[in-house]
Structure 1
Amino acid sequence: MIGVRWVLTGAVVLCGVVSPMAWADSEVAESRDCYLDGWRNTLRCSRLTVGKGDTRVSLAVMVAPAVSESDKAPLYLLAGGPGQAASDLAPMLNFFRRVNRERAIVLVDRRGAGLSQSLDCGWNLMLPTNLEVFSSELADCYLEQKSFANSLSSRQAVNDLERVRKHLGHRKIALWGVSWGTRTALLYQQWYPESLSVLVLDAVAPIETKVFLTAQAAEGALQALERDCLKDRACAQLDDWRTELNDLLENWQATAIPFPDPFTGVLSEEPVPRWVLQNVIRGALYHPETAALLPYAIKQASRGNYLPLSAIEGLLRQNTMSLGLTFSVACAEELNRISPEDVARDEAGTFLGNAFLEMFERGCQVWPVSEKPYAKPEPRSHPVLLISGEADPITPPRYADEQLQYLSNKQHLVIAGGGHSNTGRGCIPELIADFLHAPDKPLEQGCMEEMHRPPFMVDGFGPAPGRKTPLVEGENTLGGEHL
């Protein structure tokens, strides 16, 4: 789920005995009508002031009221990152229109994100690609807001959610989380089980999984792309692009090649380091639409034309994370439990290597927050719907299959060719609504058979022309239809 969105795109513990909470230090501002980009309907917005002194924050709480009053538990949407703002999820409300008929939908920007005193360190667009410069600027940000940085944690975010639940007068709530938001939801389930009705987890980051070790997952996603390209007659003609990618990375020098600007075509003044190129590839794998561009872009780059790769970089360029929050949580709850042996195993035989983790390793050296470990999860029986993309480069389906044995009442949807976050794809919104309506009933998953990868880009004009491109004989493809 850095520098540009391709490093942090998405993705991705903290437990212990639940302590009594003092609610008297909260202050509530009167609710009012408001709007968020991406959702045309009126929201009800309020502020809940929490914390004390220089860690005091006014939480932004936004509610899409149910169309019809009912006794259904409201659905809270939990953003990823860590560092994404829930208010940025407003366009997702369009996928929950059926749910919203009878359930209120709630967005809460956690402390340090979005409208709740974003700790973005001034990086709201681009990040430095020079890691020494990045580390220096990050260190300055930490020193300027040391108390606030040390106060941020998953425990705090979960406790604040419980405050909001009480503030809004909700008896029980349902949670939908994406990427790191699934970690937050699972922790809420551990610490406040009596406040929870059901969970919907998209791109699952289990409590015990070291999700910042992403090289093997990214490699698996790239191999799935290679497999599906070979099953698609048009894409298969871009033969051996994976070998060409390996050669490109092996021969890429940190001072070698500037990318042309994706909007003007003019060569940039600064060359692209290899770790950035590796993360461009990784970031493109998050979404099937951008992954479908990779074989052609890599083929062109091997011939000296870097404009298609630059165009992909341009699509992923903007940073949307509050990176101070990202490092406060990642350094205290994730990087602290990753050993050198873990890193060596994860990067072995992968195109990504240590290119994603290196920025966090360097960043945590200058962001010295204390460790906040998790306890072993306890069994829970809430109904849980798990959603995974088959080709997710950071939270693959095996995480949900192997690391959630303590959940006794779960269903798992795996989307063929899907990347990271699949709530808005095909019939998934309808299946989520069905699950929330009858969470103990097995879902009918037949509609998912119609979900495939989008057509691959095969030349400068896009996908191959024609109504349908014949498949390689004897193959049942996930490659999609060429329109």
Structure 2
Amino acid sequence: MANRERRGVLALLLAMVLLLTGCSTETVVGQPSPKYPMPKLADPDNIPELDPLPETPTWDEFMDSLENSVKRRANNGTVTDTSRLEQIVDELSDADPEDPGVQAVMRTVMRAARTQSYLPPAIEQSGKASSAGTLDWQSCGEGGLECASLQVPLDYDDPNGETIEIKIDRYPATDPDKRIGVLLSNPGGPGGSGLDFLPGWYESLTDEIKASFDVISFDPRGVGQSDGLTCGSVDTSANPNPYPNGDSEEDEFTEYAEDAAAACEQAGPLLDHVGAVNVVKDMEEMRKAMGEEQISYVGYSYGTVLGQVYANLYPESLRATVLDGMVDTAITKQELSSKQNAAFDNALRRFTKTCPEACTGLAQYVIQQAAQTPYPSTYLTAQESVDDYIASISISSMLRTPENWPLLAWSLREAAANGDGTLLMLIAELGAGISIFDGSVSGGDGLSGDAFNAVMCEDFDVAPLDEAYQMARTDNRLHPVFASPPDVLCNVWPTEREPLGPLTWPEELPMLLVSTTGDPATPHSMAQTVVSRNPSAVLLTHNGDGHTVYGGQDKCVDKNVNTFLIDLELPKKGTVCK
């Protein structure tokens, strides 16, 4: 994959404006402020040693793990080309396997191979809904995984018109005698593949949940194996300043955004019908096709938007709803970006406190240096250098999960002290779904950037252009590690926006909202705002760090959520898991 294309895929992690794929970047210099004082930059010649990462592999363990991952992918028909992995192993074979930095790379490659070896194969059968309102489930993977698909209207205002196909996977309840019903899930994005998400999520659930529910997920319309949405290409030769300064540069940037928005008209009529309301109507059709009077639902991140809309439109169809990582649909797209920038900045400062002697100012130093001279990736291909854009994406990706913070420290230290961007690039690629096996985008489309833009531009209102540019300048000055281009694509989007606005649902509907106080992607304040509009909902607060938590991350959260899902017993209001 060319570096220009690679950066376009990687940009999805930060929900950056995808129209800037391939553009050059320049450093946005942060200025001290009372709220976010900038730390002193690290001294690359005097960065203390870090403790080796836990579970570091020997060379034999490394090779055995990769061999098993390749076999697993070959068995389920999802890999035929391992050229990229072979190239990485060849480069690593000349390195010292006792070096902690090399071991960190080996560990990360193993992790990528192991994670991606569980991806389900694409299925050919249509599994269309029968006249009896059922789905044609067929075996399609390990552990009892079954697949089907459902024809739904492209336009619900024209129910007898053109249809599209939605792919659905499930793990049937392991104990029919204990079966409660269906537990539907969505990983968020928008643009995230539920089919790619499901095997790993299922593994994180308790045996009691697996016994009690058919555990199900799906690729939303426009994403992955369902009928996809693809925009046309954009001429990048204009190459406007991604951080425009002044009216003239802002006009050039807006024109470029207009070209990118216009290119999406090539996606056809689906472009008008991919927002949360349409996806929720698809979910309701799934419920009917499965013959269930009600379903239970767990939604993460943007999946919480789907849960809120479902509760608003079809409250009678929901048995129990868990929303983890709340998104507030009442704010503008630019306000959401601003809140996320501040939250990621706060997460970076908490990360720094875990290794203050080695990590203070380290991220800021790496971003500043990468903007001037990209870091080469020693064990990857020549074109995979890490500039400030990719470094920022990698940092944000690792900040989402506290367990990754020691790896983030190693990634930054290897770049600053040894000039090697390998770890930063591998983590950015892993988060964006780039295959460690052949360099392709895993699971078909990975996180669909075209679908992401189409959904966000339909579901959210926008600030006026001049205000959007001012907000970007302010955010980039306060949070330079997470500096991003102005969020104006939705201002010039070619289809009509239908902002969701503040969402509410009936008071009698049992709803459990889960929020982490240090969540960098969906700040805790958004959950508090949503609860204030829906006082009957219960907010379960996780006092900690990371983006979303249910599913093996915290025993207290899992216990409360599982009790609700199985027994419909909500925790007391004000419950905090520390």
What range is the shorter-chain TM-score in?
0.7 to 0.9
The answer for unaligned runs of 5 or more in structure 1 is 13-26, 450-483
Q: Which amino acid aligns with 1:288?
A: P
1:80 to 163, 182, 188: 188
Is the alpha carbon distance of 1:139 and 1:346 closer, same or farther for their aligned partners in structure 2, counting shifts above 3 Å?
closer
Distance 1:138 1:148 in 2: 17
User: 2:357: which partner in 1?
Assistant: 237
The structural deviation recorded for 1:114 is: 2.0
**Which shows bigger deviation, 212-221 or 430-439?**
212-221
Distance 2:574 2:527 in 1: 18
Q: Which amino acid aligns with 1:237?
A: E
Tell whether 2:537 aligns with 1:409. yes
Tell whether 2:476 aligns with 1:369. no
Distance 2:462 2:307 in 1: 21
Identity across matched positions, percent: 20
User: 1:334: which partner in 2?
Assistant: 460
The structural deviation recorded for 1:375 is: 4.3
User: 2:321: which partner in 1?
Assistant: 199
User: 2:526: which partner in 1?
Assistant: 399
The structural deviation recorded for 1:298 is: 3.0
Q: Tell me the alpha carbon deviations over residues 435-469 of structure 1, each in whole angstroms, 9 at most, x when there is no partner.
A: 212333427999955xxxxxxxxxxxxxxxxxxxx
User: 2:568: which partner in 1?
Assistant: 439
Q: Tell me the alpha carbon deviations over residues 158-199 of structure 1, each in whole angstroms, 9 at most, x when there is no partner.
A: 111111112222111111001111111111111111111221
2:129 to 5, 9, 28: 28
User: 1:474: which partner in 2?
Assistant: none
User: 1:175: which partner in 2?
Assistant: 297
The structural deviation recorded for 1:101 is: 1.0
Q: Secondary structure at the match of 2:212?
A: coil
The structural deviation recorded for 1:89 is: 1.9
The structural deviation recorded for 1:72 is: 2.7
1:64 to 142, 156, 171: 171
Aligned pairs for 1:21-420 within 5 A: 28-29=129-130, 31-36=136-141, 40-43=143-146, 45-51=148-154, 56-66=163-173, 67-69=175-177, 72-91=180-199, 92-96=201-205, 97-121=207-231, 132=239, 142-210=264-332, 213-227=336-350, 229-230=352-353, 232=354, 235-238=355-358, 241-250=359-368, 253=371, 256-261=372-377, 263-264=379-380, 267-268=382-383, 272-303=386-417, 305-307=419-421, 308-317=423-432, 318=434, 320-334=446-460, 336-337=462-463, 339-340=467-468, 342-343=471-472, 346-352=475-481, 354-355=483-484, 358=486, 361-362=488-489, 365=492, 367-381=493-507, 382-407=509-534, 408-420=536-548
Contact 1:7 1:283 in 2 (8 A): no
User: 2:11: which partner in 1?
Assistant: 7
RMSD of equivalent CA atoms: 3.9
Is the alpha carbon distance of 1:432 and 1:7 closer, same or farther for their aligned partners in structure 2, counting shifts above 3 Å?
farther
Q: Which amino acid aligns with 2:377?
A: D
Distance 1:415 1:302 in 2: 32
The answer for unaligned runs of 5 or more in structure 2 is 1-5, 17-127, 241-255, 435-440
Contact 1:54 1:148 in 2 (8 A): no
Distance 1:396 1:140 in 2: 32
Distance 1:439 1:328 in 2: 35
Contact 2:362 2:413 in 1 (8 A): yes
Q: Which amino acid aligns with 2:150?
A: R
Distance 2:182 2:317 in 1: 12
TM-score, normalised on structure 2?
0.62
Q: Which amino acid aligns with 1:9?
A: L
Contact 2:331 2:460 in 1 (8 A): no
Higher helix proportion, which one? 2
Is the alpha carbon distance of 1:162 and 1:429 closer, same or farther for their aligned partners in structure 2, counting shifts above 3 Å?
same
Contact 1:286 1:392 in 2 (8 A): yes
Contact 2:520 2:546 in 1 (8 A): no
Contact 2:275 2:456 in 1 (8 A): no
Q: Which amino acid aligns with 1:74?
A: V
Contact 1:259 1:267 in 2 (8 A): no
Distance 1:180 1:377 in 2: 14
The structural deviation recorded for 1:397 is: 1.8
Contact 2:230 2:267 in 1 (8 A): no
Is the alpha carbon distance of 1:116 and 1:192 closer, same or farther for their aligned partners in structure 2, counting shifts above 3 Å?
same
Distance 2:520 2:395 in 1: 10
Q: Secondary structure at the match of 1:291?
A: helix
Distance 1:315 1:439 in 2: 37
Distance 1:303 1:215 in 2: 32
Is the alpha carbon distance of 1:446 and 1:379 closer, same or farther for their aligned partners in structure 2, counting shifts above 3 Å?
closer
Is the alpha carbon distance of 1:299 and 1:218 closer, same or farther for their aligned partners in structure 2, counting shifts above 3 Å?
farther
Contact 1:286 1:419 in 2 (8 A): yes
User: 1:461: which partner in 2?
Assistant: none
Contact 1:121 1:324 in 2 (8 A): yes
The structural deviation recorded for 1:156 is: 0.8
User: 1:464: which partner in 2?
Assistant: none
The structural deviation recorded for 1:415 is: 4.7
Is the alpha carbon distance of 1:361 and 1:130 closer, same or farther for their aligned partners in structure 2, counting shifts above 3 Å?
farther
Distance 2:172 2:308 in 1: 25
Q: Which amino acid aligns with 2:510?
A: P
The number of aligned residues is: 418
